[in-house]
Amino acid sequence: MSGEQRAGRPEFRVWAVDGLPEVREGDDLAKLIAAAEPDLADGDVVLVTSKVVSKAEGRIMAAADREAAIDAETVRVVARRGTLRIVENRQGLVMAAAGVDASNTPAGTVLLLPEDPDASAHAIREGLRAALGVEVGVVVTDTFGRPWRNGLTDVGIGAAGVRVLDDLRGGTDAFGNPLSATVVALADELAAAGDLVKGKAAGRPVAVVRGLPHLVGDQDDASGARALVRSARDDMFRLGTSEAVREAVAQRRTVRAFTDEPVDAGAVRRAVAAAVTAPAPHHTTPWRFVLLESEESRVRLLDAMKDAWIADLRRDGKSEESIAKRVRRGDVLRDAPYLVVPCLVMEGSHHYGDARRDGAEREMFVVAMGAGVQNFLVALAGERLGSAWVSSTMFCRDVVREVLDLPESWDPMGAVAVGHPAGEPRARAERDAETFLTVR
């Protein structure tokens, strides 16, 4: 495209740089680019493929086994399918194979991504300023796949002197409609434009964009291209399917302190939907979940349970001090903004007429109930909700049934406090799965 503005029409020009030699460790990339493209001008954006940056910085690793190199660069596995791994690497980027590349490098070696792509971009920018006296922006690029989309494209993984994001939130569109979620990834758009002329196998690792000087300036803030990486808190798709299940199981904790933030009733219902997929005997559905969404219902239940519990403790001969201490342990239910009472029903169970077999039949249903409650707790963790399963309703089932107006056949199986955790959960003690195994 022409770099000239015709009749106010926005235009830019992009071209690949010819004449760059094979880059080797220790080469000064800025000097090589300046020699190959001496006519760089203020406001240009220089797009540099990360592969040549890695070569110049010596990020070449002898590796007969590429998988071992990927392991070394991986911080967290996001998703896995066969030998393909999507991971978070040491630079905080989520990508295939941690960015480890075995192409265009001698046999028996692999290329790792630049250790700090933003710092690499800054060094190239400073080098071009020193060599040519120009103020340019620099974007270090790499090839990414993208969720929901087939095919690859180049994106910006390092940047200096370039506005990487254009936050349009708070503005309006051409029709006056408010823009509430529009943040444009400028560095990625520039990287993709450069890739159109560089090509993947053409041996042209550098491109130049001219005609967009408003994107270039003294913007060497600390974030650089790191600003393009979505934080864990904001990432709705942080994990692959199987990894998400394992992560939710691992992250489930008993939470005993909650914030005042209201609980999304829809999230609880989604957790119930997960709960009732648990296995159960005889094709039955032995789970019922009573949702206490109003403060009035929670207080009424907990006050009645407290009275029953105190009466039991006094019959057991406990001191008033001991009773008060035990009652305080139940405050987690009172402090939670949402309560759920899981109940067991024995509909569809078999009756054999002898205590041994009938006892085993009930145990099967209790196990199914436990599976349902575990599904429920894990699903709540997946919704970023904390929970605490407390057994107290099992000790005063008649009281619970009366206060909540439940059928006689429903057996309350504890209560689950639900809410947003007031702090980070304590680390769980390490458990070696091998100590829980017996192999025959």
- pTM for the whole structure: 0.63
221 HSE (CA, 13 A, CB side): 10
Q: What is the DSSP string of 135-196?
A: --EEEEEEEEEETTEEEEEEEEEEEESB--EEE-TT-B-TTS-B-SS-EEEHHHHHHHHHHH
d(CA 273, CA 277): 7
In tens, the pLDDT along 177-225 reads: 877 767 889 999 999 999 999 976 678 999 999 999 999 987 545 568 9
* Structural domains of the chain, ranges and CATH numbers in brackets: 13-59+114-234 (3.30.1330.100), 241-436 (3.40.109.10)
In tens, the pLDDT along 95-148 reads: 988 889 888 788 888 999 999 999 999 999 999 999 999 999 999 999 998 888
Indicate the range of 363-367, 368-372, 393-397, 415-419 predicted with least confidence.
393-397
In tens, the pLDDT along 64-100 reads: 778 888 888 998 888 877 778 889 999 889 998 888 9
State the Cα angle at 383 between 382 and 385, rounded to 5°.
Answer: 105
Q: Where are the alpha helices (DSSP H) in 168-294?
A: 186-198, 241-251, 265-275
User: If we measure between CA atoms, which residue out of 156, 158, 177 comes closest to residue 168?
Assistant: 177
Q: Where are the alpha helices (DSSP H) in 330-436?
A: 331-335, 355-382, 397-404
User: If we measure between CA atoms, which residue out of 290, 292, 280 comes closest to residue 372?
Assistant: 280
d(CA 6, CA 82): 52
Backbone phi, psi, residue 127, to 5°: -65, -40
Q: Where are the alpha helices (DSSP H) in 199-338?
A: 241-251, 265-275, 295-315, 320-329, 331-335
d(CA 256, CA 21): 63
